[in-house]
Amino acid sequence: METGEATSESMERLRRRLLDAAQRIVERAGGVSVTLDITLDMVMKEAGVSRTSLYRAWPRKEEFEVDLLCDLAGPSWQGTAAFDEETILLARNVVAERLELLQTSGGREQLLREIVRRAANQNFSALVASAQWRTYVALTATILSMPDEDRRTRVRDSLQQAEAVFIQHMAVFYEGMSAILGYRLREPDLGFERLAAVGAAVVEGLGLRQLISAATVDAPLILEGPNGPEEWSLAAYGFFGVINQMIEPDPGYDVTTALTDYLKSLAQQEVSSE
């Protein structure tokens, strides 16, 4: 180390040199980390639980923290974040209200378009409003740089479990919707899981952009639809591209069989969720 650099370098060059050094350190660490701005006192007060009970639950603060991180990462709340029940309900209601469209291939194409337009928009809106989703993303983006190895492994396991549950859930939904609408995968090897992963990627990638450039992402598009102009969100339009790439009309479609299978699968889901 030398002294007096600031006299030979301008202040700006000194700052740049220091910031470059700091960036190298951050990069070697694999990025930034996530912290919980939360104290045990806050949790005790919020839960209405005594300090004695709290220490019985977690003798060390670190243990509480890793359990909380796993909880934030894990499938316990995924039901309300990336996986949005309202989206599923909306899609199913569009089918229920326009059953007559299932009779022709043109009608089915129109129905697919309408479902994508409305459901992807709903899914996007739910996502960007969700602090839980943002937390999930922040944990994912920082998992590689989480300093403690045991903590990193446990949080990553929770993230993986949440992702697997989400993808599985969405894949079942896409497969069922494709069947009732008379579509099938263009590449059977793709699998509905990977369709679900790409579909979620478009919506979540745009969700991230929306946090910093809302004006660009939120401006609606007016597209010419089968019955006149339609308003599309950018997320739905991009998602529609992914869907059109990955599925195609099923030449073996039979409306009665499809409807029977669809009703049976809905009934089955109703029974399983009780």
Site for a copy of itself in 86-115 (CB under 8 A): none
DSSP-derived pairing of the beta strands 247-249 and 183-185? antiparallel
Task: Supply the minimum distance, in Å, between the C-beta of residue 269 and a copy of itself.
Answer: 24
Task: Specify the stretch interacting with a copy of itself by CB under 8 A; choose among 83-91, 105-113, 136-144, 250-258.
Answer: 136-144
Does position 35 bind a copy of itself by CB under 8 A? Answer: yes
C-beta closer to a copy of itself: residue 57 or 267: 57
Q: Are 147 and 69 in contact (CB under 8 A)?
A: no
Which positions from 40 through 69 interact with a copy of itself, judged by CB under 8 A?
42-44, 46-50, 52-54, 56-58, 64, 67-68
Of the candidates 90, 137, 255, 266, which one interacts with a copy of itself according to CB under 8 A? Answer: 137
Q: Which helix (H) or strand (E) holds 230?
A: strand 228-232
31: CB partners within 8 A, 6+ apart: 141, 142, 144, 145
Task: Supply the minimum distance, in Å, between the C-beta of residue 184 and a copy of itself.
Answer: 16
C-beta closer to a copy of itself: residue 37 or 270: 37
* Residue 149 to residue 157: CA distance in whole angstroms: 12
Does position 23 bind a copy of itself by CB under 8 A? Answer: yes
Task: Supply the minimum distance, in Å, between the C-beta of residue 137 and a copy of itself.
Answer: 4
Backbone Cα Rg of the chain: 24
* Residue 206 to residue 82: CA distance in whole angstroms: 13
**For the purposes of burial, counting CB atoms within 10 Å of the CB of 37, is it exposed (0-12), middle (13-18) or buried (19 or more)?**
exposed
Q: Are 182 and 258 in contact (CB under 8 A)?
A: yes
Which positions from 158 through 217 interact with a copy of itself, judged by CB under 8 A?
159-160, 163-164, 167, 187, 189-190, 193-194, 197-198, 200-206, 208-209, 211-213, 216-217
